[in-house]
Structure 1
Amino acid sequence: MKRLFAIALLFTGFAARAQETPTVTARVEPDSIMIGDRFDYIIDVEKDLVQVVEFPEFQNAEGKLELVESCPVDTLERDGRRLKLRKRYRLAAFDEGKYNLGAAQVLYADKNILDTLRSTDSVYLEVATFQIDSTSQSIYDLKGQKNLPFRFRELSGYIKWGIFFILALLIAGYALKRYLASRGKGFGDLFKPAPPLPPHVAAIQALEALHNQKLWQNNKHKLYYSGLTDILRTYIAARWGFGAMEMTSDEIIETMRAEELPDKARMDLTAILRDADLVKFAKATPEAEQNEADYLKAYYFVEETKIAEEETPDEEEAPKEN
């Protein structure tokens, strides 16, 4: 009797363990579609709270179904320790026929158990196509391209607008010619490059642009003095016609001795070049007052040494009436 009771307890334990295993069900919605339509392949799992299941990636052995979207796992309901999960795969079918998707499978892990759980029933899908009634519908060959006769009115609008555009260009060209002739110029003058700026004008513009960059205010003293001396070298090369850009500071100072310069301009040029060499090669950091002073020295050096502009002769005075 004791032996029978032990066997009954053993079977009861197995039954209880079997009930605790997650259950898997699967279906398709809808189960019948037209070719090219989409449908949902749904897998539901009921399990205990501590049990772990993993839904697989959808695999179609026949290769006739296309996965459109794999939706995230949803928790449908929770009753105590029981959970109901749902995984939805959105698919599409492009071949006619009846498909056996087989039993749904999920991976199950619980303590030392690792197993694959399957649904009890296989899932079927029917894909239908459009039926053509050959008795009422006839199939014909492709027709050849039909050549239509040329009609002038199809191009008349383009011709009218083309003539109008040409006339507008001629009128505009004639008006421009009259305007240029009144100023003693021709069409060729429109395409002439602008005359180069005088050396002192280009130098003053470059100095003002350098001043607006605020380099030394941002601790870029070397860049500031390099720009300052480059402007002066360019001006000297254009003003006196020797290669100041390739000369050292001492060579420039020595070469400028032969030129007629105001004493102040000569001293300012020497001071700027010496200060620039200290900053660029000795890594000196001038004060703000010196930076501004060197800028003003360069500005007035250009102003004091520029070529005097030629004055246009005054118009002859009209003879006085007697």
Structure 2
Amino acid sequence: MKRLLATALLAGLGFAAAAQEAPTVKAHIEPDSIGIGDRFDYVIDVEKDLVQVVRFPAFQQTDDKIELVKELPVDTLERDGRRLKLRKRYRLAAFQEGRFDLGHAQVLYAGKNVVDTLSGGDSLWLEVTTFQIDSTSQSIYDIKGQKTLPFRFAEVAGYVKWGIFILLVLLAAAYALRRWLAARGKGFGDLFRPAPPLPPHVAAIRALEALHNQKLWQNNRHKPYYSGLTDILRTYIAGRWGIKAMEMTSDEIIEAMRGEELPDKASMDLTAILRHADLVKFAKDTPGAEQNEADYLKAYYFVEETKLVDEADEPTQDTLEIPN
């Protein structure tokens, strides 16, 4: 019985010792001989237990002979039970000829109640070579000066051909446009003239229709509705009779329009619209739906009854058509 206990105790101690065995560190460079300016990899391999913690070193720039190009992440190469094999790569470049001692690879190790720095093997050496120039067989010359080559039309022939083709197309398009404009009694200058202003009554009718489509009074916005209605009429009066209606009060507009030859209904409609608008804007009156629609129709017919009609626009007896 005592022999069995001793054997079990020795086995447990052996397992604990194996679990606390320090990681092994190995390092090498790939390749160990390069040309100047070339890159190489500094590789550190660590084999450790699953619960052990290691930290790979950070590259320290000491001079301009060797520079860090890229530090690759840690890679797991192998896993066997509790054992792990890790690899860390540092991609470096050498910019000076010679043989360099890269030292020992060192890894920080932290185990159970242990913090230590582990080194891996012998020092690593890197051989950096350059091109050897034999000055006895090869002559060295200065840099040659810039040489101007003769101009050759073939170098620009394609651009010239396409330029001529595009020019002919533009000339043909301009000629066709000129013929088209001449057939309509116009010239090139007519293309850039601004459109003539709309007659006052056309502008007023379009503005009234746009106001009606906004549905302001239907959403209890009576004041904006009547403000828009009276502004349209003021603009129409200013354009139709030359009266500065935008700067006048309602009473001043009514007084000024008495000097114009207006149909009786048109004069009464204008007065009614301006009075109702003043009540809404200044007395906060809220007209009903019938009143709002009636004032819109009055403004519409006021413009239609008082607009200027050219003789060319008036229907003649020959062209007048009576709908069925």
After TM superposition, the score normalised by the length of structure 2 is 0.64
1:81-230 to structure 2, matched below 5 A, reads: 81-110=82-111, 113-134=114-135, 137-149=138-150, 173=174, 176-205=177-206, 226=224, 229=227
CA distance in 1, matches of 2:216, 2:202: 22
8 Å Cα contact 1:269/1:298 also seen in 2: no
Structure 2 distance, partners of 1:27, 1:201, is 92
Residue type matched to 1:141 in 2? Answer: D
For residue 308 of structure 1, what is the aligned residue in structure 2?
Answer: 308
Structure 2: gaps spanning 5 or more residues: 1-12, 319-324
The offset of 1:158, in angstroms, is 6.6
Q: CA contact under 8 A between 2:64 and 2:95: conserved in structure 1?
A: no
**Total equivalences in the alignment:** 291
- How far 1:85 moved relative to its partner? 1.9
SS at 2:121 equivalent: coil
| Partners of 2:213 and 2:124 in 1: CA distance | 78
Check 1:140–1:108 CA distance in 2 against 1; reply closer, same or farther (3 A cut): same
**Cα offset for 1:228?**
7.8
Moved more, 45-54 or 260-269: 260-269
**Structure-2 separation of matches of 1:115 and 1:173:** 88
Whether the aligned pair in 2 keeps the contact of 1:74 and 1:85 (CA below 8 Å) is yes
Q: Offset of 1:30 from its aligned partner? A: 1.9
Three-state SS of the structure 1 residue aligned to 2:46 is strand
Give how far 1:188 is off: 3.0
Contact 2:204 2:303 in 1 (8 A): no
CA contact (8 A) 2:78 2:84 kept: yes
Find out whether 1:242 has 2:233 as its counterpart.
Answer: no
Task: Mark the runs of 5 or more structure 1 residues left unpaired by the alignment.
Answer: 1-11, 318-322
Within 1, Cα distance between the matches of 2:202 and 2:195? Answer: 14
Q: Residue 94 of structure 2 contacts residue 128 of structure 2 at CA under 8 Å; is this kept in 1?
A: yes
The verdict on how the C-alpha distance between 1:73 and 1:262 changes in structure 2, with shifts beyond 3 A counting, is: farther
Counterpart amino acid of residue 53 in structure 1: V
The residue matched to 2:64 in structure 1 has which SS? coil
- 2:9 aligned residue: none
Query: C-alpha root-mean-square deviation of aligned residues, in Å?
Result: 4.8
CA apart distance, 1:264: 4.4
Given that 1:98 and 1:127 are in contact with CA atoms closer than 8 Å, whether structure 2 keeps it comes out as: yes
The worse-fitting range, judged by mean Cα deviation, of 95-104 and 227-236 is 227-236
Identity percentage over the alignment? 56
- Larger mean Cα displacement after TM superposition, 19-28 or 204-213: 204-213
SS at match of 1:122: strand
Structure 1 residues 36 and 210, CA, compared in 2 at 3 Å: closer, same or farther? farther
CA distance in 1, matches of 2:134, 2:169: 64
CA deviation after TM superposition for structure 1 residue 295, in Å? 8.2
How far apart are 1:132 and its partner, in Å? 3.7
- Structure 1 length-normalised TM: 0.65
Which 10-residue stretch deviates more, 115-124 or 201-210?
A: 201-210
